[in-house]
Every structure is written in structure tokens, then in C-alpha cells.
Structure 1
Amino acid sequence: MGSGQVTDWQGKHVTVAGLGVSGVPAAKVLHGLGARVTVVNDGDDARAREQAAALEALGVTVRLGDGATLPEGTELVVTAPGWQPDKPLFLAAERAGVPVWGDVELAWRLRGTVPGKPVAPWLCVTGTNGKTTTTQMLASILRAAGLRTAAVGNIGVSLLDAVLGEEPYDVLAVELSSYQLHWAPSLRAHSAAVLNLAPDHLDWHGSMEAYARDKGRVYEGNQVACVYNVADKATEDLVREADVEEGCRAIGFTLGTPGPSQLGVVDGILVDRAFVENRRESAQELAEVSDVNPPAPHNIANALAAAALARAFGVPPQAVRDGLRAFTPDAHRIAHVADVNGVAYVDDSKATNTHAAEASLAAYGSIVWIAGGLAKGATFDELVARSAGRLRGVVLIGADRALIREALARHAPEVPVVDLDRTDTGAMLQAVQEAARLAQPGDTVLLAPACASMDMFANYNKRGDAFAEAVRELGAGA
């Protein structure tokens, strides 16, 4: 079970760690290939029992409430991406010399096993923020070039479905999380991008260094291009450290004027100085900033990264423009909800960490900021210090709002702050009403919480929906 393809799964003892969105499909696929599959799962709730019953009906063994013990005879562990590397199951596998793969690794190894189906190259996207948007933009550009593609991986179509299904693809746009990359040792992309690096999921990885190292795995063995962020030196450092194929190039993207082997912006035009004949003296126009939806700075950076990967794959310039024009961002990502009394209301509930919130705040000049929730161990001094000059006022909600209030007191003491001492879902209506009171015509009321939502809402979608509903109520009474 080394780095090569596994062609004969018949009778292999495979343990699948975790039920859920990746574990159940992996167990079914492996069972279908003839492996002897045992699924182990920490939980033993009603949902787990329902999933277990369906798998057992196929002939898969399931152990609920026992995710720590390595079943005897295991030759391979396939894990759900969220399982932490220090779990006893993985330590036992390491002691026994048993390899551990994630669902991405499994999909990578199974490419080319469907007779008559072409093996599609992977264009991979990772980073702390912007992964989903960039991957979807990339898929849109590839489609505009007439290529058969899908946005897969951490979003959309599952990678196992993309690799093993009947649908033929020319190329795949693959979003990868740091968790998935940790468990994908033999992945080798056509080209890949790391959009940015900021502290996130450090409880899982153990340190910023380990987190960066897992992100950097996406560059290993790249064939054509390693795309990095000129404004984020850590991403360029990862390119330098990567072991790539002969001839693979480092391609930067920047919101400024690009140098040779970079994509950037000149006079409101997205331009390419990387994939042109004479990159020292010429540049290729790709699209206008106004073709990017929305044209916020961090989203223009996303568009440039997507364009770089598409151009690395040989996509013509016009397809970049057409693909960006056709792209519609997901809900709750800098979504303009309404204008009420000359004030714009914008939902960026997806900004669940400080890095995402800072990018969102940088998109507007004068802001009433609605923030707070579960901090996940984050600190807010840097975010507040960098954004203080844009803040007209702040409304704080959620369990860890005191951390943001204290950072505001240190770095923006003159900014008025409303601290809502409640965590019920109705707090959002009051937050919007308070923000409207602080705002003046021309301002933007921005929901960019810099925190997770689970203290008050089921997820960030529900939080964004509550914000939009509150804005509609405000507008009805205007």
C-alpha cells in the first residue's frame, strides 16, 4: 500500500474512520471494490445507528462508540478529514506500520480505474479564506472555455463521485482544506494555489507551522504552476520549499501592477504577465475589475488566482472574462441585502475568522460593523487596529463579544460600541436596529462577525438569513 496505484482491493482489510459525508461514501466504494471494510465511529447516536444499519445491510462491519481501537488485521485506514492526527486510532496505525489516507487520497489513487473514462488533471485551491469562491470562479472560467469540469473536493461534487462516476471531465477544480491535505500524501496536482495563510484550526494542527506545512502540501509535485499571493510572503515561502516537477513555475498574483510571471491589476484591468510570449515586455488583458462580482479587493485577488490556474491549463483570455462575468457568489459572502435610508446593508456571515473579516472590512470606507460569536481561540487586536479608521460604530453580539470589545477599547477608543448582552436568535433584529441608529447616509452596515456562529445559530447561513430578515423588517418600517 505504498505510493503506487492499488489495483487489487479484493479481500484487503480497510478500516474507515468516521461516518458522515466522506466516511459513508468511502466505505461503500471500498466495499464495492471487494475490500473487507470495518467502519469505526466515536458517536453512537440515532443518526449514526441509521447510517450503520444501511452499511451493515451491504455487508460492511460497523463499530459505533469505539473510534479509538484499530481493528485487528487492518492494512489501511481511510479517515474522515476532521479526525485529529493525535487520535489513538492513528497512533496505533503508525505503530503497526499501517498507512492512513483521507478521502482525497483515496480518490487520487482511484483515478483511471473506470474503463473508458478519461483521467482528469486536478487544479487545486487552498488557503485560509476564499477557497470556495476561487474554486467556483475557476470552474466557471473552465466552463467558459468549453471544458467539461466541476467544482469538487471540500465543496460541490464529492471527489469520489467525480473520479468514479460516469460523467467524463476534462479537468477538475478542486477545493482542499488543510485537514484534507494532511491526509493526502501522494496527491500531485497539475497546478495549485495557496491564496493566503492566517491562523486558523490551530487546535487541530497543533501549531501555525504544522498548519502551514499541511497547506504547502498542495504544491508537492506540481507540474505547471505553483500560484502564490505576492502580498502574503508565507505563500511564496511554501512554493520555495516544495519539491515540484522540472519546468514548474512560481506564478504570483497581486492587486498592484504585476511583474514578470505575475497576474495583477493595471488601470482597472486584470492582466497576465505570466502566460504570454514575452512576459518581460508585454501583458495580456484578461478582464475588467467590474467583471468581478463583487469587486471587493479580496475578491479581485480570488479572481486573479482563479485566472492564473486557468491560464496555467491553457485557457484563452476571453474565457477568463466570460467565466468571471458568469460567476455568481454563494449566499452570505459579501451579499448586498438592501439599501435603507441611504445606508447599504451587507451580509458577510461567512467571515467566521479575523482574516476573512479584515478582508471584508477593507472593502468599504465607512462602516457600522456587526461582529461577535464564538472566537475559536482568536485574538482581535490586529484586526481592530487595521480597521479602526473605517469604523463609524460597532454592534457586538454573541458569546465572545467581550474579546472584541476589549480590542476596540485598546485600538479604537473613540468608536461608539453597542454591546448586546444576549445570545438568543432575536438579538440579530436588535443588532440591525442599533446599527441603523449609528449609521449615516453613505455608510455600510456590515455583518462580518470574525467569529463562528454556533453560540446563537445552527450555522453561518442561518446567521446571515437572520440578518437579511432583520434588514427587510427595518426596510418595511422605513
Structure 2
Amino acid sequence: MSADRLDALTSWYADWRGLKVAVLGLSVTGFSVADTLAELGADVLVVSERADEQYARLLPVIGVRLWTGDLDVVPDELRDFAPDVVIASPGFAPQHPLIVWTRESGIALWGDIELAWRVRDKVVREDGSPADWVLITGTNGKTTTTRLTATMLAAGGRRAAPFGNIGVPVLDAVRDPAGFDVLVVEVSSHQLWYLGLQTRSADPVSPHAAVCLNLADDHLEWHGSFEAYRDAKAVVYAHTRVACVYNKADAATRAMVEEAEVVEGARAIGFDLGVPGPSDLGVVDGILVDRAFLEERRTSALELTTVAALAESGLAAPHIVANILAAAALARSLEVDPADIRDALERFELDPHRIQVVAVHEGVTWVDDSKATNPHAASSSLAAYPGAVWVVGGLLKGVDIGPLVAARGGSVKAAIVLGSERDEVVSAFARHAPAVPVFEVDAAETENVMAQVVDLAMEVVRDGDVVLLAPAAASFDQFASYADRGRRFAEAVRERIAAGSADGGERDDHDAAPDAGA
């Protein structure tokens, strides 16, 4: 197919009929891509190692073919299909054989975000324009900030909701017949890598506002290097129209904005926990303020909320306050009133497994931050709970945990190490925090891991202590997901409480345990 034909496909109402598209992967994202293309009249072949039974049953109903099998080599079925476009699910890394073959063959390679942008006009607003997009990425805090932004926009009367890497594919949002004013899209570094391939697109993704919250080592096994990971994250700012929001405390995000090719007139908006400049959001004497989106910003500021009010809602941890400021900047770029932002924050609750207190008993607090799947996220948790008994370990994803242990490990009361890469964590403590007691969880069965974690924690806790699950690693070596890991931790804590209560609550001081139902 000619490049001109592909360049013309920038509307739902363009002629997609007969376009031959290979969709790689049959996760929730892959199915949304296949379903969309089928509705557009394209000729679609899904290629996947395995297929969820529900999706496999639905594909022939919508007129899509499915091939499953070994993907270590390019299947003959894919070669014979000779696709005009390949659309890959985010799990397919740049070095995957199918991605290498696609690029070497000169076949157009898209991700789901590219397709969603091209067909974004299926449902339009009253003025005939498609919904605005807000893009959110970062090593940590993406999901919280995405939910915060959507909540603030909704409080301000906009039809908005969170989509993308947060769970609901953006293609589902684009096709929703009710329509939206704003799509708040969490984008992973994987999705951004694919988006970055479209440097010559006739209609590039051009968000109203975008943010990269922070940058630290993560997903290096997927990208191949930190530099490649950084370059993928930087794509979030490309062609931004109104506001490039960046973290003043993270020089890498400032550099991304400075280097980005944006629409003329787009502003750089900074945020951090310090006193803000005249184009920033920040904190002054415990008050979160906006000095970016008001005409008198050089001499005054708008109050958004206070740290004390956030503390009442469990939102006062420093990294959560930073997320709130980033989300507020995005919402303010769409003219949401400060009063609406305050109202949204009064109703907002953090996701499960994000610094979630699961029990408090006899002075011991048990905290589930299973969503801290990399060292950067775990560092924020440890800063919020200094002196905690730290539950750490899992799949490190190619990241060196040594710098985190050097920076934070010496201040913890003890470390309980789990996961398949325990040796790396134990070695890091031996090098950087040798005085800290380290306990290893050697349970082979998933069902027994967290029970052993809790039993080990009970050996060292005292009144006033915190036990913090902040693994700094992925969960897939022993658990189905970070949510599964966090759920099992909470269950083990509560079971241990119940067992202690059944025994009459009598135990030695060094066996302090939490209270059920707290």
C-alpha cells in the first residue's frame, strides 16, 4: 500500500476498507485494536502466542482471523498475509523478532495510541471537534495522577475519564457513543516508544496538555538502555498545544520540555513541593497554590488546598502531594476552577495497593504499597515511612537496587527480602547497609510467601513501628500481579491478627501484632 493511502487514514470516516492489518497480541489492548479495525472494515489477522478464551471466541464473530503459536520466529501465516500495517500491543519490545521483521520489511508499525488518534473523530463535541487529549507518563505516579486529573475535570463539569495504560483502552473511549470532552490518557514508555516511530505522521498526536512526572531506571530490559527509556518518555511532550507540565525537582523532565517540538504558544508549567515561580504550581506555608494560570501570576497566587486538608484524606505523603500538583496543573490548563479542584480532592481516594494502610494493631501499622514496582517508587514510600520494617524484592527488571539501598536502606529497622532475585537485594544490604538486620523469605509456594513475611515481621516490630510492603520490583516471579501481591499481604496480616485474637491476645512484647478491622 502506498504511503499516501496510509497518510489519508486520519479520520474514522476515511476509507479503511480492505486495509490489511496484523495485530500483535490479544490482551485487552489487542482486542480493542482488532475490534476497532473490524468495525472500520479492515482485513485483520491477530497473531498471538496464546489467546484468552473469551477473546478467541469473539474474534470470528466480528470477522477477524486468529493465529496462535510460537513467536520466536515470524510465522508463515504472517508473512503470507503481507500486512499493510502492523499494530503491536505494548508488550512487544523493540527487539522482538516480529517487530524487527516488521521494521526491516518497511511495513508501517503503529501502537494502539496511534490508531486511536487517527479515529478520534468518531464521536465529536457540540462544536464538531473531537475530545481534547491529556497525556500522562512518568516512572511513578502515572495512575494516581491520571485518576486525579480525571476527577478534577469531572468536578469542573467536563465529561472526562481515565483511559490508556490505566486499564481501559483509549480506543474504547474513542468509540463510546456518549462521547467525552477530555480523554485523560495514561501512557506507558512502551506505548510512547511506538508513538515515537510516527515522526512523519500526517496528523501526529497533539495533546492539549502533557506531563512526565519523573524519570528513574525502569523497564531497562524492554528498552535496552536508560537512554532509550528516557527518549521514549520524552515523546509525551511532542506536539503539545497548551501546557507542558514538568517536575522542577527532576531535571530530566525539564530537559524533555526544553527539547520537545511543540505547537507554538505552548507553555512550560513547573511543579514541585517548594515555593512556585510565576509559571509554576507549588507549596507556600502548607498551602498548595497555582501561580501559572492567572493573569496576576507575577504578584499573586490561587489557593488550591492545604496540606492539612490533604492529611485528613490520607493524601499528604510528599509524592502524592506532587502528583496532586501535577494533576491540578493539567486541570487548570483546561480552566477548571480552584474550588472544583478542592471539591475533587475531598472525594478522592487512592488506588488499592498504593500506600494503603491495611491494619493497625497495638501500635504497629501495616502498609501495602505493592504498586511500588521499581526503586524510585519504593524510595518515595520509604521517605513517607522512615524507620519502617521494609518488605522488598521480586523481579528487578534489570534495574540495580544498590543505589536505593544506599540511599534509604540504612534508615530502615529491618529488611524482609522476598522474590526470585533475593541475592541481589541481600548483597546490596551487605554493601550499603550492613548494620540492618536482613531476613529472607524462602517459601517456594505463592500461598506461603506472605505468611512467612508477616511471621518474620512479627519478630522485630514494636509499638510505633511500621511494616511497609514496597517491593521496588515487579511481582510476576511469585504473584499474578502487584494487586495479587498486595492482596495476599493484607490477607496474611489479617489472618495473623485473627489467630492472635483467638489465642486471647497474649504474647511477648517482641511479638507485637496488628488489630483486625482497623
Q: TM-score range by the shorter chain?
A: over 0.9
| Residues 65 and 421 (structure 1), Cα distance of their counterparts in 2 relative to 1, 3 Å cut | closer
Q: Which of 168, 175, 183 lines up with 1:157 in the alignment?
A: 168
Of 251-260 and 64-73, more deviation after overlay is shown by 64-73
* Deviation, structure 1 residue 66: 6.0
Contact 1:269–1:289 (CA under 8 A) maintained in structure 2: yes
Contact 1:16–1:78 (CA under 8 A) maintained in structure 2: yes
SS of the equivalent of 1:473 reads helix
* Deviation, structure 1 residue 53: 4.5
| Residues 442-477 of structure 1, C-alpha deviations (whole Å, 9 max, x = no match) | 221101111222222222112111211222133331
Of 86-95 and 343-352, more deviation after overlay is shown by 86-95
Return the alpha-carbon distance in structure 1 between the equivalents of residues 386 and 426 of structure 2.
Answer: 21
2:260 alignment partner in structure 1: 242
2:152 alignment partner in structure 1: 141
* Deviation, structure 1 residue 59: 2.5
Q: Which of 88, 100, 109 lines up with 1:100 in the alignment?
A: 109
Contact 1:374–1:398 (CA under 8 A) maintained in structure 2: yes
2:83 alignment partner in structure 1: 74
Return the alpha-carbon distance in structure 2 between the equivalents of residues 66 and 468 of structure 1.
Answer: 38
| Residues 279 and 21 (structure 1), Cα distance of their counterparts in 2 relative to 1, 3 Å cut | same
| Residues 115-154 of structure 1, C-alpha deviations (whole Å, 9 max, x = no match) | 7775110111001111001000111111111111110111
| Residues 375 and 93 (structure 1), Cα distance of their counterparts in 2 relative to 1, 3 Å cut | closer
2:299 counterpart of 1:278: no
1:129 alignment partner in structure 2: 140
Contact 2:125–2:179 (CA under 8 A) maintained in structure 1: no
Contact 2:146–2:185 (CA under 8 A) maintained in structure 1: yes
Contact 2:276–2:282 (CA under 8 A) maintained in structure 1: yes
* Deviation, structure 1 residue 427: 2.8
AA partner of residue 174 (structure 1): V
| Residues 275 and 409 (structure 1), Cα distance of their counterparts in 2 relative to 1, 3 Å cut | same
SS of the equivalent of 2:330 reads helix
1:429 alignment partner in structure 2: 451
* Deviation, structure 1 residue 249: 0.8
SS of the equivalent of 1:281 reads coil
* Deviation, structure 1 residue 73: 3.8
1:381 alignment partner in structure 2: 402
AA partner of residue 457 (structure 2): A
Of 80-89 and 109-118, more deviation after overlay is shown by 109-118
Return the alpha-carbon distance in structure 2 between the equivalents of residues 189 and 162 of structure 1.
Answer: 15
2:318 alignment partner in structure 1: 297
2:392 counterpart of 1:371: yes
Q: Which of 31, 39, 48 lines up with 1:24 in the alignment?
A: 31
Q: Which of 216, 234, 252 lines up with 2:270 in the alignment?
A: 252
SS of the equivalent of 2:390 reads strand
2:98 alignment partner in structure 1: 89
AA partner of residue 149 (structure 2): L
Written as runs of structure 1 = structure 2, the 5 A alignment for 1:163-178 is 163-178=174-189
- Could you tell me which runs of 5 or more consecutive residues in structure 2 were left unpaired when the two chains were aligned: 1-5, 199-203, 506-518
| Residues 291-331 of structure 1, C-alpha deviations (whole Å, 9 max, x = no match) | 44431111111111101100111111111111122111111
* Deviation, structure 1 residue 389: 4.6
Written as runs of structure 1 = structure 2, the 5 A alignment for 1:347-362 is 347-362=368-383
| Residues 24-48 of structure 1, C-alpha deviations (whole Å, 9 max, x = no match) | 221121112111112222x1x4x45
* Deviation, structure 1 residue 4: 6.0
Q: Which of 51, 57, 68 lines up with 2:55 in the alignment?
A: 51
2:343 alignment partner in structure 1: 322
| Residues 398 and 157 (structure 1), Cα distance of their counterparts in 2 relative to 1, 3 Å cut | closer
Return the alpha-carbon distance in structure 1 between the equivalents of residues 124 and 318 of structure 2.
Answer: 45
| Residues 71 and 2 (structure 1), Cα distance of their counterparts in 2 relative to 1, 3 Å cut | farther
Return the alpha-carbon distance in structure 1 between the equivalents of residues 134 and 303 of structure 2.
Answer: 22
SS of the equivalent of 1:222 reads coil
Return the alpha-carbon distance in structure 2 between the equivalents of residues 247 and 433 of structure 1.
Answer: 58
Contact 1:375–1:452 (CA under 8 A) maintained in structure 2: yes
* Deviation, structure 1 residue 359: 0.8
SS of the equivalent of 1:462 reads helix
AA partner of residue 166 (structure 1): P
2:418 alignment partner in structure 1: 397
* Deviation, structure 1 residue 277: 1.4
Return the alpha-carbon distance in structure 2 between the equivalents of residues 220 and 284 of structure 1.
Answer: 29
Q: Which of 37, 40, 44 lines up with 1:33 in the alignment?
A: 40
Return the alpha-carbon distance in structure 2 between the equivalents of residues 474 and 61 of structure 1.
Answer: 50
Return the alpha-carbon distance in structure 1 between the equivalents of residues 305 and 481 of structure 2.
Answer: 35
- Could you tell me which runs of 5 or more consecutive residues in structure 1 were left unpaired when the two chains were aligned: none
| Residues 57 and 169 (structure 1), Cα distance of their counterparts in 2 relative to 1, 3 Å cut | closer
Q: State the TM-score, normalizing by the size of structure 1.
A: 0.95
